[in-house]
């Protein structure tokens, strides 16, 4: 009897041993996704990702992507990065899931660094950037031409439950169904304007002149030639190589200005390959509050000392009416192994009349290709007084034209915006927002 009982116990033990791996596998929690800047949608590399209460931790890669797993139960994931507000989100224990995260920038004071032996290496590198500005600034070339593709989008954000129930916004209630709060912490938004344009730009230095021909323009929600001319490449153009950057009628100090060391503190953070170029990463912040400056970081090419990429925001205490935040991201490409040209440009502005409540975000992104720095443009091309010319067929391009000529295909999110705008454009309340956009670009309202 005793032996048979022992045999039963052994069988139960063996059965449990066989089941344990299956049980542990069933409890494995695996989370993957991408971390981006809330305002610019740019990737945030090196973000720390941790499953709360476990030893599982990882950093995002250069594209802001991550995959983290834990053989056990975890219910919270934490994202942290210097200069951004920490984000905590719930996870589903024992499941595979995707979580996309948007992180909001916050004001952070870096500790002072005292260099006891020699000069701050960041300052040495900056001086080389300044010394080589004329050689690396595209506007120093005798002439050039390129093709530019622009995208402009406007959204309403921070819409409260009270605002959602507002009688004017009720026709747009279906939009809130497009955001799954379980997979992202992004705030609901109301996209009410999106446009695309494709242009040819030609520049010459002597005599100084620049001409843009808009070959195609697609504006969802309204068809207005006066608005279209502001959607090209010359509207709110930022040249970081200039000492002062004109924004909203005010001269901001460029982080690579000749006076940079007077207005900024610089920190050498890292070095790595960006593409096939070895670059150094510098961080900068204003020396004093309430000055027209920026904070951010940029990558410098190791041999030409050209800026490869820069991401910057206006200082939080810069006094600009209604502008809560503004970010600029630019990337440069080495052309013909002789000069650097702007290859990507992004300008994002967050407008708000109050610190809390509904805000208005505008995004303008541009990509550049087809650079030609060898062919001198003819004088006839610059005849006439208009710097921006709209092609007669610009507003009549077919869908096939756009599919063939877009520099990048539209994302699922952007396609949804077109669908939503096309749906709501027939609603009477939509005309109110169209008038706001028109006034923003042109400065007047048709009566």
pLDDT digits (tens, 9 = 90+) for 94-147: 888 999 999 988 765 545 555 555 789 999 999 999 999 999 999 899 999 999
**Residues pairing with 325 in the sheet:** 350
The pTM (predicted TM-score) of the whole model is 0.77
Residue 214 tokens read as 């808009």
pLDDT of residue 354: 59
Residue 384 tokens read as 């006439």
Instruction: Report d(CA 160, CA 49) in Å as an integer.
Output: 29
Collapsing DSSP states into helix, strand and coil, what is residue 77?
Answer: strand
Instruction: Report d(CA 106, CA 391) in Å as an integer.
Output: 44
Collapsing DSSP states into helix, strand and coil, what is residue 16?
Answer: helix
Instruction: Report d(CA 329, CA 297) in Å as an integer.
Output: 10
Identify which of 343-357, 367-381, 420-434 has the greatest average pLDDT. Answer: 367-381
> pLDDT tens digits, residue range 260-297?
999 999 999 989 888 889 999 999 999 998 889 999 99
Q: Of 339, 1, 343, 282, nearest to 128 (Cα)?
A: 282
More confident residue, 349 or 253: 253
pLDDT of residue 183: 63
Q: Of 151, 159, 161, 152, nearest to 186 (Cα)?
A: 159
> pLDDT tens digits, residue range 320-358?
777 788 899 999 999 988 899 999 999 988 877 555 666
Q: Of 198, 147, 221, nearest to 393 (Cα)?
A: 198
Instruction: Report d(CA 149, CA 160) in Å as an integer.
Output: 35
Average pLDDT over residues 367-385: 88
For the chain, give the mean pLDDT. 81
Q: Is 28-103 a CATH 1.10.760.10 domain?
A: no
Q: Where are the domains of the chain?
A: 28-103, 137-248+320-442
Instruction: Report d(CA 383, CA 375) in Å as an integer.
Output: 18
DSSP label of 355 = S
pLDDT of residue 62: 84
Instruction: Report d(CA 123, CA 287) in Å as an integer.
Output: 14
Chain centroid offset of residue 22 CA? 43
In 141-276, the DSSP E strands lie at: 143-157, 189-205, 208-220, 244-247, 250-253, 264-274
Q: Give the model's confidence band at 21: pLDDT under 50 very low, under 70 low, under 90 confident, else very high.
A: very low
Q: Of 135, 224, 178, 163, nearest to 415 (Cα)?
A: 178
């Amino acid at each position: 009897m005793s032996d048979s009982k022992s045999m039963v116990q052994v069988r139960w033990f063996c059965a449990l041993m066989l089941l344990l791996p299956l049980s542990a596998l069933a409890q494995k929690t695996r989370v993957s996704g991408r971390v981006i800047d809330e305002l610019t949608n740019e990737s945030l590399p090196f973000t720390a990702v941790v499953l709360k209460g476990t030893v599982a931790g990882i950093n995002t890669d250069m594209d802001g992507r991550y995959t983290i797993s834990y053989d056990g139960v975890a219910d919270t994931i934490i994202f942290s990065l210097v200069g951004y507000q920490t984000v905590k989100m719930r996870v589903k224990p024992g499941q595979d899931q995707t979580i996309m995260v948007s992180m909001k920038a916050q004001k952070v004071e870096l500790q002072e660094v005292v260099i006891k032996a020699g000069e701050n290496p960041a300052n040495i590198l900056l001086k080389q950037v300044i010394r080589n500005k004329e050689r690396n600034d595209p506007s120093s070339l005798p002439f050039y031409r390129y093709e530019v593709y622009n995208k402009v989008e406007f959204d309403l954000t921070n819409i409260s439950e009270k605002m959602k129930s507002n009688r004017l916004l009720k026709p747009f209630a279906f939009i809130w169904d497009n955001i799954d709060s379980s997979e992202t912490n992004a705030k609901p938004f109301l996209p009410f304007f999106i446009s695309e344009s494709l242009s040819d730009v030609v520049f010459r230095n002597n005599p100084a002149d620049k001409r843009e021909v808009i070959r195609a323009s697609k504006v969802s929600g309204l068809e207005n030639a006066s608005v279209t001319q502001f959607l090209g490449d010359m509207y709110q153009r930022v040249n970081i190589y200039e000492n002062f950057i004109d924004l909203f009628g005010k001269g901001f100090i460029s982080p690579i200005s000749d006076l940079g060391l007077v207005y900024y503190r610089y920190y050498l953070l890292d070095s790595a390959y960006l593409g096939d170029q070895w670059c150094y990463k510098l961080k900068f912040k204003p020396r004093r509050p309430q000055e027209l400056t920026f904070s951010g970081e940029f990558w410098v090419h190791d041999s030409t000392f050209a800026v490869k990429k820069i991401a910057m925001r206006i200082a939080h205490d810069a006094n600009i009416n209604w502008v809560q935040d503004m970010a600029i991201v630019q990337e440069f490409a080495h052309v013909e192994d002789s000069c650097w040209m702007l290859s990507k440009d992004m300008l994002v502005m967050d407008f708000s009349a109050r610190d809390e409540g509904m805000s208005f975000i505008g995004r303008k992104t541009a990509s550049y290709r087809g650079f030609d720095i060898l062919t001198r443009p003819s004088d006839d091309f610059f005849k006439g007084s208009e710097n921006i010319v709209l092609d007669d067929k610009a507003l009549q391009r077919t869908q096939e034209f756009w599919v063939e000529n877009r520099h990048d295909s539209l994302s699922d999110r952007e396609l949804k915006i077109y669908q939503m705008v096309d749906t709501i454009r027939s609603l009477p309340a939509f005309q109110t927002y169209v008038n706001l956009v028109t006034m923003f670009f042109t400065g007047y309202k048709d009566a």
